[in-house]
């Protein structure tokens, strides 16, 4: 989707696009670029699109991906956490063994917890990073950090930067799409994907598949349709005609034409968006691959795995369809606000109760997504990033739960340019923190690596805002060469 900044002379535009130091931002070069964004990258790209999976509330590394035999051995013994550890609440109880057993999976033999064992069939595509470290145990700041690279509000999400850096691959869908948890937003709401200081077209657009207006204002509300849809075609024609007369006396101003064009694009989007989200176009086999149940299937009232798999599966399948149609960046959220009853990963009280259905459902859907992308040949140029705002402590909180752990957690990547079947950056024997603190991985490194795979140098993708040349990676970040294929 192309959008045109208004009111800017070419010089203004270069300035606003971060070109103040003489460099022309990619965005401006790609303003006219059609099709493959690779024409304007800093170096040849390995991938051209991204899916980010965000587990909101903080997913437990030791119960899912980071196998720690020591915890099984020491279960119930008093925990002695090394280093300066502060619990967010009072979760410094005895060691708590992983809730599920682990078994080796795939050619690589990666140990996965039973609850995420469906991912075993695609684990050879995945690269685990077990030495992630954050800066805070407060959900909001930590979510901002993972989503935007800064702890406080006011910065664009990663998808906004990718949109800004690479532009669009299509004409009639947004560049950066967000699929929030259907029950509500995570900490910070829409601020996790807002464009902040970047021009508006780079903001994440929320899509709500299966609703009457899956994209904001795609159509008038039903109550308005009666009066306004009868002469829709004539009304558009009248608007176009009047605007062309207006433009004819202001020929030196291309914005007036651009605006006429934006209404034509809007009409195209009315056709393209519902089509992109129509899962009935998919075969039953494909739907089952993602864990999707037939429409109208009743679910129990309590949180349960089949329902979670269905909800996540629908988002993942919509994501694949969007990517096929040229959407550049899709962000999928699992988990809404950290309230009760838990529909989020913030398992202070009971890991099994919440992580069971959430992780189990996620594993079914995401395994389906990776397998499907692979069989369609799309995995090779799509990067998948699985992330969360921080991890959970290896000791117990109140017996069955775990408190926040910003010191160490796990993320994983897969797809375009990623070496699959590996685990890097080990954590310590208990999964509390990186084994080698000096080599800890931070969000800046994940972001730098993803931009690198997309052909962008994270130190050169900048935008001037309130006097500062801003970057997704602030003043940090290094490309993680050990996970590159």
The footprint of other proteins on residues 118-147 (CB under 8 A) is 135-141, 143
24 binds other proteins (CB under 8 A): no
Q: In whole angstroms, what is the distance from residue 333 CA to residue 316 CA?
A: 10
Q: Return the residues of window 416-475 that contact other proteins according to CB under 8 A.
A: 464-469, 475
Q: Return the residues of window 181-200 that contact other proteins according to CB under 8 A.
A: 184-185, 187-191, 194, 196-197, 199-200
92 binds other proteins (CB under 8 A): no
253 binds other proteins (CB under 8 A): yes
List the one residue from 146, 201, 410, 473 that touches other proteins (CB under 8 A): 201
- Contact call for residues 71 and 63 (beta carbons, < 8 A): no
What torsion, rounded to 10 degrees, do the Cα atoms 432, 415, 192, 23 define?
110
Nearest to 197 by CA among 166, 154, 159, 143: 154
243 binds other proteins (CB under 8 A): yes
Q: Which two tokens stand for residue 98?
A: 């992983």
Q: Return the residues of window 66-85 that contact other proteins according to CB under 8 A.
A: 84
Query: In the bound complex, what is the minimum distance in angstroms from residue 261's beta carbon to other proteins?
Result: 9
Comparing CB distances to other proteins, the nearer of 196 and 292 is 196
221 binds other proteins (CB under 8 A): yes
Q: In whole angstroms, what is the distance from residue 140 CA to residue 145 CA?
A: 9
What torsion, rounded to 10 degrees, do the Cα atoms 323, 123, 106, 344 define?
-120
Which segment (72-80, 221-229, 305-313, 357-365) binds other proteins by CB under 8 A? 221-229
Comparing CB distances to other proteins, the nearer of 331 and 382 is 331
Here's the x/- map for other proteins, 299-338, by CB under 8 A: it reads as -------------------------------------xxx
Helices (H), 229-253: 232-248
List the one residue from 44, 216, 298, 300 that touches other proteins (CB under 8 A): 216
List the one residue from 42, 120, 219, 479 that touches other proteins (CB under 8 A): 219
Comparing CB distances to other proteins, the nearer of 93 and 417 is 93
Phi, psi of 410 (to 5 degrees): -120, 140
- DSSP-assigned letter for residue 78: P
List the one residue from 39, 151, 293, 304 that touches other proteins (CB under 8 A): 151
Which segment (43-51, 97-105, 233-241, 279-287) binds other proteins by CB under 8 A? 233-241
> Cis peptide before 420, with omega less than 30 degrees from 0?
no
DSSP secondary structure string for all residues of 158-208: HHHHHHHHH--S-SSS-SEEEE--TT---TTGGGGT--TTS-GGGSPEE--
52 binds other proteins (CB under 8 A): no
List the one residue from 26, 47, 158, 256 that touches other proteins (CB under 8 A): 256
Strand 102-105 versus strand 110-113 pairing type: antiparallel
Query: In the bound complex, what is the minimum distance in angstroms from residue 156's beta carbon to other proteins?
Result: 10
Which segment (64-72, 251-259, 291-299, 376-384) binds other proteins by CB under 8 A? 251-259
Comparing CB distances to other proteins, the nearer of 60 and 188 is 188
323 CB-near residues (< 8 Å, 6+ apart):
49, 51, 330, 378, 382
398 CB-near residues (< 8 Å, 6+ apart):
91, 93, 348, 349
- Contact call for residues 228 and 220 (beta carbons, < 8 A): yes
List the one residue from 24, 75, 78, 242 that touches other proteins (CB under 8 A): 242
């Amino acid at each position: 989707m192309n959008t045109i900044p208004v009111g800017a002379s070419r010089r203004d535009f270069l300035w606003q696009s971060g070109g103040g130091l003489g460099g022309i931002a990619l965005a401006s070069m790609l303003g006219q670029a059609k099709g493959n964004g690779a024409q304007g990258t800093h170096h040849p790209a390995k991938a051209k699109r991204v899916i980010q999976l965000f587990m909101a509330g903080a997913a437990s590394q030791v119960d899912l991906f980071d196998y720690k035999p020591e915890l099984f051995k020491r279960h119930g013994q008093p925990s002695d956490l090394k280093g300066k550890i502060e619990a967010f609440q009072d979760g410094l109880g005895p060691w708590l063994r992983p809730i599920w057993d682990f078994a080796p999976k795939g050619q690589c033999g990666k140990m996965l917890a039973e609850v995420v064992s469906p991912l075993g069939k695609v684990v050879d595509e995945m690269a685990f990073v077990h030495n992630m470290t954050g800066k805070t145990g407060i959900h909001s700041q930590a979510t901002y950090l993972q989503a935007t690279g800064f702890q406080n509000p006011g910065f664009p999400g990663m998808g906004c930067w990718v949109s800004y850096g690479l532009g669009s691959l299509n004409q009639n869908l947004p560049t950066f799409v967000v699929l929030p948890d259907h029950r509500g937003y995570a900490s910070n709401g829409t601020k996790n994907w807002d464009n902040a200081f970047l021009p508006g077209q780079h903001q994440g657009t929320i899509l709500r598949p299966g609703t009457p207006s899956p994209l904001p204002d795609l159509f008038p509300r039903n109550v308005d349709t009666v009066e306004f849809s009868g002469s829709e075609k004539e009304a558009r024609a009248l608007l176009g005609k009047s605007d062309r007369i207006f433009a004819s006396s202001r020929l030196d101003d291309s914005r007036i034409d651009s605006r006429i064009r934006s209404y034509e694009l809007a009409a195209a989007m009315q056709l393209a968006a519902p089509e992109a989200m129509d899962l009935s176009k998919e075969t039953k086999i494909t739907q089952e691959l993602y864990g999707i149940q037939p429409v109208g299937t009743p679910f129990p009232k309590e949180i349960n795995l089949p329902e979670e798999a269905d909800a996540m599966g629908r988002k993942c399948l919509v994501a694949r369809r969007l990517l096929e149609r040229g959407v550049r960046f899709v962000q999928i959220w699992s988990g809404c606000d950290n309230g009760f009853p838990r529909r989020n990963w913030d398992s202070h009280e009971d890991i099994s109760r919440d992580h069971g259905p959430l992780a189990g459902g996620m594993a079914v859907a995401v395994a389906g997504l990776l397998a499907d992308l692979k069989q369609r040949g799309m995995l090779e140029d799509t990067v998948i990033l699985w992330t969360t705002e921080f991890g959970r402590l290896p000791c117990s909180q109140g017996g069955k739960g775990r408190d926040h752990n910003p010191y160490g957690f796990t993320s994983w990547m897969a797809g375009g340019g990623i070496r699959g079947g590996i685990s890097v950056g080990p954590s310590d024997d208990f999964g509390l923190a990186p084994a080698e603190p000096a080599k800890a991985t931070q969000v800046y490194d994940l972001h730098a690596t993803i931009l690198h795979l997309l052909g962008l140098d994270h130190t050169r993708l900048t935008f001037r805002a309130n006097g500062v040349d801003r970057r997704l990676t602030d003043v940090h970040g290094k490309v993680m060469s050990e996970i590159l294929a």
